[in-house]
């Protein structure tokens, strides 16, 4: 599953990520374009026991989340 949270300000990217986590998604990617969203989504995902890898992209970052 991929969440496009570009252009959204916090806490909306975290809320969108939480919706996917609540659906028991094992793997997902979150696209963000600001540092606050990158840090907050990453912190939330780690708290929910996901491993997080971050890729730089032309528009910002792609956070890849994998359930531990």
pLDDT for res 34: 96
**Domain residue spans in the chain?**
2-67
pLDDT for res 43: 98
pLDDT for res 16: 97
Q: What pLDDT digit, counting tens, does each position of 19-64 carry? A: 999 999 999 999 999 999 999 999 999 999 999 999 999 999 999 9
Q: Are 29 and 20 in contact (CB under 8 A)?
A: no
* CATH of span 2-67: 3.30.110.40
Spatial CB neighbours of 58, under 8 Å, sequence gap ≥ 6: none
Distance of CA 63 to the CA centre of its chain: 5
pTM: 0.95
Quote the Cα angle for 35-50-42, to 5°: 10
Distances (CA, A) of 63 to 20, 53: 14, 6
């Amino acid at each position: 599953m991929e969440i496009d949270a570009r252009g959204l300000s916090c806490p909306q990217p975290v809320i969108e990520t939480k919706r996917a986590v609540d659906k028991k998604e094992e793997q997902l990617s979150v696209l963000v374009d600001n540092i606050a969203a990158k840090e907050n989504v990453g912190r939330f995902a780690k708290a929910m026991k996901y491993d997080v890898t971050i890729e730089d992209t032309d528009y910002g970052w792609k956070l890849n989340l994998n359930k531990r």
